[in-house]
Amino acid sequence: MDILISPLVNMLLLLYGALGNSFVMAIIVATIVIRLITLPLTLPQQRNSRKMAELAPQLEELKKKYGNDRNKFAQAQMALYKENKVNMFGGCLPLILQLVIMIAFYQALTGSLATNPLQLQQLSHRVLPNLISLIPIDPHFLIYDLGLPGILPSVEQGLSPLVAQLLVFILPALVVVTTYLSQKLMATPSADPSQASMTRQMNIIMPMMFGLFALQFASGLSIYFIVSNVVGAVQSWFMLRRWKQKPLLAAETAPAPTSKGSKPLPAPADNKAVVSSKASKPLKSPVGDGNKKKE
């Protein structure tokens, strides 16, 4: 984990100095940079999910074909995914990577906002020599201390308990809303009712879980969640718009529309051959019959 924390700490300090000693702007820009770096991993995940959505009609046909035989359906499904280069487990790696980056970013965030001598000494071992002059960092942003959860104690003392609680819930509420929006745009329709139900449940559970994280951890992590979700939602919107205009799967992979009980028509070449063969049969000559009667 330290291999990620030290570069993140130095990136935050570098951006903090370059952006006029604004730590919230450093968090925002660092989050966008992280999203761009991880784009080569998240984009194949979205492409894979989109392919699965485009194959949903064919999966429905396979279900009708094999009925309750789950083994044959599973084999046919795997063959269909293999033919169209779809990885059923392609979304696991990006999710694990996002979790690792989230933990590393939180530790880099709290490590950068060192307040006591011991934390400052630990931070000095991570920071490049030309960035040490930026320490200590000013963590204040509006009514928040980016290194602590909730609002500033000085602000809370001058407000009624109800208003103070409402202000505490502002950032977590934004985390929940942006997470839900991002998950909603990234989710793909499924032909399997159980999988569709699981997707709907995850679209509710994940935002609530990240909202609880935002309540308990530093406010700077909430800024990271919000910016990351907004960037992800914009990326998903553009990709969905592009894929609607140009599907990922070729047109020939789509199942041909056929009516029930219909039989395939013979090829035109065969029809011509049949017609020509019928037309080429010689007709019986009536002249021969007349000669026999005369005899």
Express each pLDDT in 87-145 by its tens digit. 766 656 667 777 888 888 888 888 888 767 777 777 877 888 888 888 888 888 988 88
**C-beta of residue 16 within 8 angstroms of C-beta of residue 134:** yes
Does this model's pTM top 0.75? My answer is: no
pLDDT for 190 equals 59
Cα–Cα distance between 27 and 17 in angstroms, integer? 12
Question: Where are the chain's structural domains?
Answer: 2-248
Residue type, 189: P
Strand partners, 145: 140
Q: In a 3-state reduction of DSSP, which class is residue 151? A: strand
CA angle at 9 for the pair 177 and 143, rounded to the nearest 5°: 45
Residue 170: pLDDT band (50, 70, 90) is very high
Cα–Cα distance between 64 and 61 in angstroms, integer? 5
Q: Which regions of 106-176 does DSSP assign to beta strands (E)?
A: 140-141, 144-145
Best CA proximity match to 184, nearest among 242, 246, 229, 247: 229
Q: Considering the chain, what percentage of its residues have pLDDT values greater than 70?
A: 76
**C-beta of residue 21 within 8 angstroms of C-beta of residue 138:** yes
From residue 173, alpha-carbon distances to 157, 167, 177, 200 in Å are 22, 10, 6, 19
- pLDDT tens for each residue of 36-95: 888 887 777 777 777 777 777 777 787 777 777 778 877 887 887 777 777 766 656 667
pLDDT for 187 equals 67
Cα–Cα distance between 15 and 243 in angstroms, integer? 35
Is the Cα torsion angle 9, 15, 18, 20 positive or negative in sign?
Answer: negative
Please enumerate in sequence order all residues whose Cβ is within 8 A of that of 188, keeping only pairs 6 or more positions apart, or say none. Answer: 49, 50, 52, 53
From residue 236, alpha-carbon distances to 35, 209, 241, 254 in Å are 12, 21, 8, 24
**For residue 71, how many other CB atoms are within 10 A of its CB?**
8
Question: Which tokens go with 169?
Answer: 């819930």
Cα–Cα distance between 93 and 41 in angstroms, integer? 8
Cα–Cα distance between 88 and 38 in angstroms, integer? 20
